[in-house]
Amino acid sequence: MKNAIGRSLPEYVEGYGKVKPFAGAFATEPDMTRQAPKVKRILPGEQKLVEDLETVFKRIPVTNGMTLSFHHHLRNGDGVVNMVLEVAAKLGIKDLTLAMSSVFPVHAPIIEHVKSGVVTRLDTNYMSGPVAQAVSRGLFPHPVVLRTHGGRGRAIECGQLKIDVAFIAAPTADDYGDLNGVQGQAACGSLGYAFPDAQYADNVVAITDNLVPYPLSPISIPQTRVDYVVKVDCIGDPKGIVSGTTKITRDPVGLRIAETTAKVIKAADLIKDGFSFQTGAGGASLAAAYYVRQMMEESGVTGSFALGGITGYMVEMLEKGLFRNLIDVQGFDLDAVRSLANNPNHLECGADFYASPFNMGAAVNKLDAVVLGATEIDTNFNVNVVTGSDGVIMGGSGGHSDAAAGAKITIVVANLLRGRLPIIMDKVLTATTPGETVDVLVTERGVAVNPRRTDLQEQFKAAGLPLKSAEELKQLAEQIAGVPESIKTLDKVVAIVEYRDGTVIDVVRQVG
């Protein structure tokens, strides 16, 4: 069968179930109720602090077939996932589902746990490194489910992703289970991607290497949702958690794209008081923010908020009065951690507040402009951020589809060629974000506007922007680098790419 963007999908996938095809960005309405975790209590004098993880496993108890969840705020510095799985393997537990908001190279030991049967399923929003490569080559016995950040929050709230035990890496905790991410040697900033897990899991275990006297202040996740606290020597390597100060690109091509992106936002008449903005932490994205900042300063504009993963550059804009607030679901550097700890206008939010499509108002719905990247984009403006040019998984939607759906204008920025391969094609290998939610493509050779946005076409023409059609940019890239060969994949479905509403926008098939 085919979905609304013409992707061919199987009607049923073994290990996943019946496939509900993507019908459009806003076509699927909720028809469920929010779920609730088990009601429990603790009596006066009872303790939550437990001597080690093995004791926690036995008290819960963790058994075969359970779903264990983890957040990714420690990124490639995370030590908790591997620590927990070592205990599961030692106790002989099998057939676990890992519900991880993201997977990084540091999580390579998962591969051996799959081979031994400890882990059989994976549910995540993003993956890179050895686990992603192993998934692409068919290691897992069941297809991996790839969600969006908002889609994961929705799935947890609505009971489609039922968590038996949430293991929360807590940079700081007290012995009664109050947690935050802004203190301690492994401080990571916002704990927003763990909020739904803490709220809806049947059991919540905090793992910390910085135990402080009760009561902790400030509190990100409260004691009322935490069952056990375990003190360990180290939850993660700070070098892999934050990057210090994220840098603006110095690449001339990237700077040209960034400057054009800012001109696109200005031409759309969005640089005015109350402006709201989201961009990534990459060099080109930060460069776009730099040019937007210049325009805001020249016009005396005060924006309402910046959203998403927060960098030191956004913190600086807040402190200079260019934005009234930051809404932070994930900190990317040390300045973001510091700001969240100290500035009351820097707000911490959960994944559901940030981007769930099934609530009464996700923050992405209030965005004026979002700047996003792409591995590939096709002439219908569908974007791939899941697979690389070799067909191997190297990313995931994260908040890509969520922000694209919510913003007034969604801008994809990309070099016309990546690694001597054209970025624009007739059909992306893996569809992640549907073209109906993507408005503009900015490259170093021109700006393409989605034909749906005739209003933008007129505004950009009047502003003198270098307009080209997506087809013209594709032809230009192919004149330079030639037409790339099609990727050949096998029949086995190794991953299901869910849109934010839980429908299937595409599947990933095994590479040879």
Question: What is the secondary structure of 242-265 as a DSSP string?
Answer: --SS------HHHHHHHHHHHHHH
Nearest to 411 by CA among 262, 271, 297: 262
Cα distances from 427 to residues 4, 123, 378, 506, in angstroms, run 14, 26, 5, 12
How far apart CA 322 and CA 305 sit, in angstroms, is 9
What does the pLDDT read at residue 243?
A: 65
The single residue listed with the structure tokens 């969520």 is: 402
Q: Is 396 left (phi over 0), alpha (psi -120 to 50) or beta?
A: left
Q: Are 267 and 459 in contact (CB under 8 A)?
A: yes
Strands (E) in 135-192, as ranges, are 144-146, 165-170, 172-174, 179-180
Q: Are 467 and 117 in contact (CB under 8 A)?
A: no
What does the pLDDT read at residue 444?
A: 97
72, burial (CB in 10 Å: exposed 0-12, middle 13-18, buried 19+): buried
How far apart CA 454 and CA 449 sit, in angstroms, is 8
Tens-place pLDDT, residues 404-436 = 999 999 999 999 999 889 999 999 999 999 999
Looking at the whole model, is its pTM more than 0.85?
Answer: yes
Angle at 189 between CA 66 and CA 374, to 5 degrees: 80
Nearest to 443 by CA among 268, 285, 258: 258
The single residue listed with the structure tokens 């889609």 is: 151
Contacts of 298 (CB under 8 A, 6+ apart): none
How far apart CA 180 and CA 186 sit, in angstroms, is 11
How far apart CA 158 and CA 161 sit, in angstroms, is 8
Find residue 212's DSSP bridge partners: 174
Number of other residues whose CB lies within 10 A of the CB of residue 218: 13
Contacts of 344 (CB under 8 A, 6+ apart): none
What does the pLDDT read at residue 283?
A: 81
Report helix, strand or coil for 30. Answer: coil
How far apart CA 293 and CA 298 sit, in angstroms, is 9
What does the pLDDT read at residue 244?
A: 60
C-alpha torsion angle, residues 239, 245, 250, 256 (rounded to 10): 120
Q: At what angle do helices 252-267 and 283-299 cross, to 10 degrees?
A: 40
Spans of the chain below 70 pLDDT: 243-246
What does the pLDDT read at residue 419?
A: 85
